[in-house]
Structure 1
């Protein structure tokens, strides 16, 4: 599903004549950890700790100078979660942003809800 979300995001970016985002495993690892922490109730749903996630990534990604993050939860497909992000002005701004790298993380809570995190880096 991570790849499917990135595919949907890149399809949308193509309609805006934007370059595709390259999925990076190390960014996906950070995104997955955040999704797991939200799904397990270790952190509240949202962007708490984003600065720390980005700081860890910036140490290993050369020339990185910008970042953003989208989160969502629910029983959504890849297409549905991206559609919801596009309907939200803030999330859409991140998707349309001047980024070239991304990572996607997904985790399932005990109640069946999925928690999604997508991190954008340039």
Structure 2
């Protein structure tokens, strides 16, 4: 997923994202939490925003954003889906972001939605 995301950024003239351990922790925890508690939202059921979770995981940067998706079968499919969505595309192509955390859980958020919970947490 990182390579695919960076390919899209390169086409737009943005530098590559590098992984950040705090953002990885936040993204993975949210992907797994959505599967475990069967919800799909940026805000956790306990009321924490993506920004709250990223900071709690130890991210100290200023600019932050999040992409989430469920039911996609592969990294290629989910990145294509995000690139076809204006808000998600804007996050991927925002050159302010230089770091990323990627989270994935193979479980189901909802039975009819297919498997896979995907999260990208961006920081700059």
TM-score after normalising by structure 1: 0.85
Q: Which residue of 2 aligns with 1:116?
A: 118
1:29 lines up with 2:31 in the alignment = no
Partner Cα distance (1:91, 1:106) in 2: 17
**Structure 1 ranges of 4+ moved more than 6 A:** none
Partner Cα distance (1:60, 1:47) in 2: 17
Partner Cα distance (1:84, 1:60) in 2: 27
Shift in Å, 1:54: 2.5
Q: Which residue of 1 aligns with 2:53?
A: 53
Q: Which residue of 2 aligns with 1:89?
A: 86
Point out where structure 1 has 5 or more consecutive residues left out of the alignment. none
Shift in Å, 1:52: 1.6
Partner Cα distance (1:66, 1:91) in 2: 15
Show the 5 A alignment for 1:94-105: 94-97=91-94, 98-105=96-103
1:66 lines up with 2:49 in the alignment = no
Point out where structure 2 has 5 or more consecutive residues left out of the alignment. none
SS at match of 2:37: coil
Per-residue CA deviations over 1:87-111 (Å, capped at 9, x if unaligned) read: 0000001001110000000002255
| Aligned-residue RMSD, C-alpha | 1.6
Aligned length, in residue pairs? 114
